[in-house]
Amino acid sequence: MIATSFLFLPSGRILMKVCIYGAGAIGGFLGARLGAQGHALCAVARGATLAALKARGMRLRLADREIQVPVAASDDPAALGPQDLVIVAVKGPGLPDVAARIAPLLGTGTLVLTAMNGVPWWFFSGMPGSCAGLKLASLGVGRDQIRAALDQISFSSIARSSPGCSQGSPA
């Protein structure tokens, strides 16, 4: 049996303790959407993002409205405790730090979802002028690897408009 802290509502809905590890554009988008549905939200963040989350909560600006949800935020995962769901939404170079520090967020029934974001090798595809034809080969991912993984990739048009605030919508 897997131990969880899910809250089962009479309506059949399930509410979870959710931690966003990396509250940039993608993490902020996912966190704001989950928080708006009533899930207990926390985030591991640092610097200006941590300060913004503590001051204003997690925010998502959409074309027709802004979603703002409360979030417990810390730069120390141990301060947040075990979660039902941890969404890792850091760029690739941040993953070693996450791996070294994530343990306090993990309980016996914790689900971990990776939503790794970053700049793919094809970032300049279709751009005109001096960017035409450029490729970011330094990322070590080539065309064949991308094609093989396309069924696992989510394309979104989301940006971080300011610390603690994402803007846009999924593609």
In the numeric block, which tokens belong to residue 67?
């979603």
Q: Which residue has the tokens 């997690």?
A: 58
The label of the residue with tokens 């846009």 reads 168
Q: Which domains does the chain have, with CATH numbers?
A: 7-115+156-170 (3.40.50.720), 120-153 (no CATH)
Digit-coded pLDDT (tens) for 44-59: 999 999 999 999 999 9
Query: For residue 102, which amino acid is it?
Result: I
pTM, to two decimals: 0.72
User: Could you report the per-residue pLDDT of 70-104, keeping only the tens digit for each?
Assistant: 999 999 999 999 999 999 999 877 888 998 999 99
